[in-house]
Amino acid sequence: MPEVAEKALLTILSSAETRERYFIATRRAQETERAERITAVESGAQIIEMMSDDDGDTNQEVRAPRPYRRLKPPYPEAAARAEIEATVDVLVDIDARGEVGRIEIARWAGFGLDQSVLDTVKQMHFFPAMRNGVALPMRVLLRYNFRKPPRDQNTQD
């Protein structure tokens, strides 16, 4: 039975109709990417501010972005099996509306922890950074510390 299914699949994939459909989809994706690149170049790069702990300028009141609610990334099964304890640092660009833009892992941990952080940060929304009452885009460093969960008291060794 698997041989029959494989033969049917290969017949469908090798048909002219399927090739044409994939050709059109690939061409559309290329055109979309080209248009996005042109738009990005023409609009110029957005200025992102970084806030440091030693910003000594007291003439300007700057408030860092704050999450609407804090989300805790899940501790992945792969990390639990390996009993991993690690820290993942992520740089996040937050626009003037408080929406998450570019996300970059600054400190990797592996074992699915990085992906857990990325998936969580993509779901977050922030009160935007403010300077003298005006919202502004800002890059922030978020740190997530993962500790192995306590062993279940009911588990037998």
Is residue 74 located within the same domain as residue 39? no
**Is pLDDT at 92 greater than 70 in this prediction?**
yes
Question: 7 versus 44: which is more confidently predicted?
Answer: 7
Looking at residue 38, its pLDDT comes to 73
Average pLDDT over residues 113-123: 95
Percent of the chain scoring above 90 in pLDDT: 45
pTM over 0.75: no
Counting beta carbons within 10 angstroms of the beta carbon of residue 67, is it exposed (0 to 12), middle (13 to 18) or buried (19 or more)? middle
What's the pLDDT band for 156 if we cut at 50, 70, 90? Answer: very low
Is residue 28 located within the same domain as residue 69? no
Is residue 83 located within the same domain as residue 140? yes
Domain, as residue range, for 24: 2-43
55 within domain boundaries: no
